[in-house]
Structure formats: C-alpha cells, structure tokens
Amino acid sequence: AQSVAQPEDQVNVAEGNPLTVKCTYSVSGNPYLFWYVQYPNRGLQFLLKYITGDNLVKGSYGFEAEFNKSQTSFHLKKPSALVSDSALYFCAVSQTGANNLFFGTGTRLTVIP
C-alpha cells in the first residue's frame, strides 16, 4: 500500500527566509514523487516531479525538492520565501505502473511580510 505523510499542517516563515515543507512516503517499488500547490478556490498547479536521475529536482517559481531514498523523503524547499508563496502544498506519490496519484493531507504555508 502507498501512503504520504506531511507531518506539518501549517508552516509559517518570514518573507526572505528559506522555507521547507516536509514529505515522507511509503510505496512498493520505485516511487514517482510530485509537489502541487493549491490557491484558494483553485485547482492544483504542478510544481515539480521526481521520476529518476538527479536527486535534486528544480521546479516552477524557484522551488526545488530533494529525493532521499534512505529516509523516504521528498521535502520541498525554496531559498527565499515570497508572500505570494502562501498557499496549500500537497505532496503526492505514484508507484511504478500505477495510474493514480496518492496525496498527502497538505501543508498550509504562510509567508509573513
């Protein structure tokens, strides 16, 4: 069975500071890992993905994530947070050959001016 854990419901960070949103996963076989962002009353926007290759993945809007196989983690990071980054962030996993994404419960990021 596959699962995704986002241990923090809420993350607050000051504008200009680095941010980290945590994600750990459990899946059979090789994972496909994704981060999405959701703004109020909107659909999810794709940020980045890890399929294979370099463990550090760079995505949209200056976000990046690092795949750590030994810790089964895929934390989302950004060196300098913007107020406009405030939103709900979802980590998702899919296992090899599967069709669906399995989502975490989301982390609400608030960037304080």
Partner 1 sequence: NAGVMQNPRHLVRRRGQEARLRCSPMKGHSHVYWYRQLPEEGLKFMVYLQKENIIDESGMPKERFSAEFPKEGPSILRIQQVVRGDSAAYFCASSGDRGQTYEQYFGPGTRLTVT
Binding residues for partner 1 (CB under 8 A): 4, 32, 34, 36, 41-46, 49, 51, 90, 94, 99-106
Q: CB of residue 113 vs partner 1: minimum separation in angstroms?
A: 25
- Backbone phi and psi for residue 62, each to the nearest 5 degrees, phi listed first: 85, 5
Cα-trace Rg, the chain: 13
Q: CB of residue 15 vs partner 1: minimum separation in angstroms?
A: 26
Give CA torsion, residues 46, 49, 51, 54, to 10 deg.
150
Q: CB of residue 85 vs partner 1: minimum separation in angstroms?
A: 19
